[in-house]
Amino acid sequence: MKAWRYHLAEEELQKKALKALRLLLIETSSLPGLKGWELKKNLGKDYLEAIKVASLEADKLGMKITIVPDDEAPKDFEKARFVLMTKEPLSEADYGRWLRIEEIASLAMILVEISLRGGSVPLEVIIRILTEKLPRWRVNQIISKLERLGYIKEENGIVFEDWRSKVEIDETGFIKDIILYRQDK
């Protein structure tokens, strides 16, 4: 009887895990993934258990589930964002489908600037740097897009990395490759 109940619970958890994957994959807002409370609402109290099983299923498909803590309540899982990510970095053929080339390059320039300035940079500096390469109207478009997608955030004229840059980009590896870059390669 006990074993049968255990089996049923396991089966239930597996179903919930697959449901969690579906929920995480389909975007319901402008941002990917779901907040912990949304998962709890859909999966029940044991949503964290279901996420653990879902992570194993995602791994088989070359994906992983990442938990992005909320800035104001870093220990609260219900306020954290749960996102589904690829395990491998983007290939050259894929990145055209991610952002446009000038948007990726702008993001790269912004991240280098933020990194070299210890985590934040005045917006006017970002605009000055980008307008050396792109027209002002395009720079404004790119900054808004990167902000909307969660790559950067601006508070009182200061630009910071947002959750998406922190989660998606290996900053150390990126800066290292920038330092080692040689044009004649």
Q: 16 or 103: whose CB is closer to another protein?
A: 103
Shortest distance (Å) from residue 13 CB to another protein: 22
Within 8 A by CB and 6+ apart from 56, the residues are 17
Q: What span, in angstroms and rounded, lies between the C-alpha atoms of 153 and 160?
A: 5
Q: What span, in angstroms and rounded, lies between the C-alpha atoms of 83 and 64?
A: 8
Of the candidates 111, 114, 126, 152, which one interacts with another protein according to CB under 8 A? 111
The CA angle 119-70-89, to the nearest 5 degrees, is: 65
156 binds another protein (CB under 8 A): no
Q: How remote is the C-alpha of 161 from its chain's centroid?
A: 11
Residues 49-108 interacting with another protein (rule: CB under 8 A): 63, 66, 83-92, 94-98, 100-102, 104-105, 107-108
**Interface positions with another protein (CB under 8 A):** 24-28, 32-33, 63, 66, 83-92, 94-98, 100-102, 104-105, 107-109, 111-113, 116, 129, 132-133, 135, 137-138, 164, 167-183
